[in-house]
Structure 1
Amino acid sequence: MESTVPHFSGKTGVSAIRRKKRNKYSALLWMLIPGLIYFFVFHYVPMYGVVIAFKDFKITQGIMGSGWAGFKYFAKAFDDPHFLVVIRNTLIISLYKLIFGFPAPIVFALLLNEVTRAPFKKVVQTVSYLPHFISWIVLGGIVISFFSMDGPVNWGMKLLGFEPVLMLADDRYFRSVLVVTDIFQSFGWGSIIYFAAIAGIDYQLYEASIIDGANRLQRAVYITIPMLVPVIVIMLILRMSHILDAGFDQIFNLYNPNVYNVSDIIDTYAYRKGLTEMEYSYSTAIGLFKSVVALVLVVSTNYIVKWIGGKEHTLW
C-alpha cells in the first residue's frame, strides 16, 4: 500500500515548507501594517524636525533655508537660571510619582488577587480602570472643583476645625495634589499587566505551599512577588525613559502662575517658549535634550539591571 503522505526533497521541499509558513502567518503580518504606518508617520517622519534645534529657524525661510546655529540654543538653555529650576521641578515631581506611583498598581494587583469573590473582584477592577479613560481636561476640572475653597476637601477641613486652603494655588501642597491625582488616574490601568503576570503563575506552587502550611501573606511574599520580579524590573526600565516626563497634560490643566516655581516642568516650559513666544529653535533644543537624557537613562538602567540580576530580567 502506497503512502499518502506528501514527500518533499531538496530545494522543492524547503520552498514548500516556507510557503506554508508564509501563508499561515500572512494575516498577522498584514495586521502589522497599520501599526507600522502609524509609527513611521507620527514617530519617525517628525524626527526630521530635530534639525531645528541646530538652526536659527525662521518660518519664512523654512528648515532648509534657515542658517545653522550649532549648539547656540543648548548653551542658551543652560545659561537660563529658570531652565535649571524647570529641570529641578521635573526631577522632583517625576521622582515623587516614581516612588509613590510605581508601587501602587503592584500593591493593588496583589491585594485584589487575594479577593475570592469573583463578581466583587470584577467590579473593583472595572471601576479602577475608568479614570484612565477620562481626559485630563475633564479630570482637571473635577480636581479643581474638588480642591476649591467650597469643595469637599476644604469642607471636610472646616468640619475638623482647620482653616481652608486653596491647595492648587499653594506651592506647599501643589506637588502632593499632583502625585495623588496621578495615582488615582493611573493605578488601575497600570495593574493590568501585573494581573496578567499573576494569572500566569503555576497554581501548583500555591497548592504545594498550602500543603506546607503557608498562609496568604507567606504565599504572596514567597511565591507571587518573586514571580513578578521580571515584569516589575522591565516596567521600571521602561518607566525610567519618562523620568523627565512629569505629566504635561496633568500639570498644564492644573497649574497657575502662583505655583510656577514648583510646577513648571520641561514640557510646559518648552510649550510656552515654542508656541507662545515662538522661539522654535530654543524649544526644540529643550525637547531634544529631554529625549537624549531619557535614552541614556533607559540604556543605563538596563545595563545596571543586567549587571545585578542577569540578562533574563532586562529588555535586551
Structure 2
Amino acid sequence: MKAMNSSVALDKQESVGKPLVRKKGLFSYIKSDSILYLMLIIPVAYILTFKYAPIYGIQIAFKDYNIFQGVNMSPWNHFATFKQIFSSQQFFQVVRNTLVLNGLDLLVGFPAPIILAILINELVWNTFKKVSQTILYLPHFLSWVIIGGIVAQLLSPTGMLNSLITHMGGQALPFLTNKYAWVATYSFVGVWQNAGWGTILYLAAMTGIDKQLYEAADADGAGRLRKIWHVTLPGIRPTIAILLILQLGNIMAINFDRPFNIQNNLVMDFGDVISTYVYRVGIQSANFSVGAAVGLFQSVICLIFLLGSNFITRKLGENGIW
C-alpha cells in the first residue's frame, strides 16, 4: 500500500509540472485551415444549389403541375403520373434501351481504360509515353456536338469512310442507319472518347505499387504478362472495385448529349433512351410531371444498384465506397 501511495504521489508531482493540453474548438480548426475552408465554399455552394435545392421539385412528379399555379398550388394527382408512365409501352422501351447501351458501356468501355493504362505503364520510352497520353486524353475535351458532327461526316451513308469503301468497289456500310450497327458505333465512339481519360486514375494507382514487388517477380523469373497478372492487377484492384461500383450505380443514368447527337429517326428503336425521352415528353411537350416522375424512377433504380453493388463488393472482401 505504501508503494502504491508513493507511485500515485509521484504521478501527481509529474502531472503538476506538465502544461495542460486543451482540446481545440471548432473555430480554432477553421482558423488554422482557413484557406482550405475558403476553397470549399464554391464546390459546396455548387452542390447545394444544383444537387440539393432541386430536390424540392420532386413533388412535381406527384402533382398535376401547372406552371401558372406553381409547385405548391398545383393539385396532388394520387400517383396518376406514375400509373401513366408504367402503362406506357414506350417508357419500357426507353428503359430497355438505356440498360442495353449502359450494359455495353460496362462490358466494353469499363475494361478499355484498364487495358490502356497497363499498356501505357509498360512503355519504357518516357517521351513516347507522354505523347501517347496527351493524344489519348484529347477526345475527352471535345463536346458531343463536335463528336456527333465528326461521326456524321465519317460514318454516314455518304461520309468519308463509306465513300472510300464504294470507291474501292465495295458496298456502303450502314453504320448509322441500321439499328444494330448503330449500337456498335455508339459503343465504339464512347470508348474512343472516354478511355484515355479513364486511364488517369489507374495510372495513379499503379504509381503506388511497391517497386520491390516487381523486383521480386523479376528474381523469380516472371515475364511481363506474369508481372501484370500477379502484381499490377492486384495493386489496382481496389481502384477497379470502386469505379465498378460507381458505374453500376449509374446503370440507369445516361447522358443526354451522346445519344441525342448520334441518334437519328432510323434507329430510334434502340437510340431513344431515358434522357431523350424526358427531353421530348417532359420539356418539348411541357409535361413536366412525367419528366419529374421518370427522373425520380431513374434515381431510385440507380440507388438500388449502387447499394447492391457496394454490398456485394464488401462481401467479396474488397473495400467498398463506405
* TM-score, normalisation: structure 1: 0.92
Q: Of 60, 78, 86, which aligns to 1:70? A: 78
Instruction: State whether structure 2 residue 257 is matched by structure 1 residue 249.
Output: yes
For 1:223, the equivalent position in structure 2 comes to 231
3-state DSSP class of the match of 2:37? helix
d(CA) in 2 for partners of 1:17 and 1:47? 33
Moved over 4 A (4+): 15-23
For 1:53, the equivalent position in structure 2 comes to 61
For 1:144, the equivalent position in structure 2 comes to 152
For 1:118, the equivalent position in structure 2 comes to 126
Q: Which amino acid aligns with 1:267?
A: S
3-state DSSP class of the match of 1:164? coil
Residues 190-247 of structure 1, C-alpha deviations (whole Å, 9 max, x = no match)? 1100000001111111111112211111111100001111100100000112111233
For 2:138, the equivalent position in structure 1 comes to 130
For 1:303, the equivalent position in structure 2 comes to 311
Residues 169-194 of structure 1, C-alpha deviations (whole Å, 9 max, x = no match)? 22121111100000000000011000
3-state DSSP class of the match of 1:247? coil
**Residue 222 to residue 160, structure 1, CA distance change in 2 (3 Å):** farther
3-state DSSP class of the match of 2:78? coil
d(CA) in 1 for partners of 2:303 and 2:24? 43
d(CA) in 2 for partners of 1:243 and 1:261? 19
Q: Deviation at 1:22?
A: 4.7
Q: Deviation at 1:115?
A: 0.3
- How many correspondences in the alignment? 306
Instruction: State whether structure 2 residue 114 is matched by structure 1 residue 106.
Output: yes
Q: Percent identity?
A: 39
For 2:210, the equivalent position in structure 1 comes to 202
Q: Which runs of 5+ in 2 are unaligned?
A: 1-16
**Residue 144 to residue 212, structure 1, CA distance change in 2 (3 Å):** same
For 2:219, the equivalent position in structure 1 comes to 211
Residues 113-155 of structure 1, C-alpha deviations (whole Å, 9 max, x = no match)? 1000000000000111111110001111011111023323213
For 1:261, the equivalent position in structure 2 comes to 269
Instruction: State whether structure 2 residue 90 is matched by structure 1 residue 82.
Output: yes
Instruction: State whether structure 2 residue 321 is matched by structure 1 residue 315.
Output: yes
d(CA) in 2 for partners of 1:301 and 1:192? 23
d(CA) in 2 for partners of 1:222 and 1:308? 19
Indicate if the aligned counterparts of 2:62 and 2:76 stay in contact, CA closer than 8 A.
yes
Residues 45-81 of structure 1, C-alpha deviations (whole Å, 9 max, x = no match)? 0111111000000011000010001211111111001
3-state DSSP class of the match of 2:236? helix
Q: How does 1:23-38 map to 2 (within 5 A)?
A: 23-38=31-46
Q: Deviation at 1:19?
A: 7.5
For 2:291, the equivalent position in structure 1 comes to 283
Instruction: State whether structure 2 residue 166 is matched by structure 1 residue 155.
Output: no
d(CA) in 1 for partners of 2:48 and 2:24? 33
Higher Rg of the two aligned structures: 2
3-state DSSP class of the match of 2:47? helix
d(CA) in 2 for partners of 1:181 and 1:245? 18
d(CA) in 2 for partners of 1:236 and 1:18? 37
For 2:19, the equivalent position in structure 1 comes to 9
**Residue 205 to residue 50, structure 1, CA distance change in 2 (3 Å):** same
* TM-score, normalisation: structure 2: 0.91
Indicate if the aligned counterparts of 2:30 and 2:37 stay in contact, CA closer than 8 A.
no
d(CA) in 2 for partners of 1:17 and 1:86? 53
RMSD: 1.8
Q: Of 178, 183, 187, which aligns to 1:175? A: 183
Indicate if the aligned counterparts of 2:249 and 2:309 stay in contact, CA closer than 8 A.
no
Q: Which amino acid aligns with 1:314?
A: G
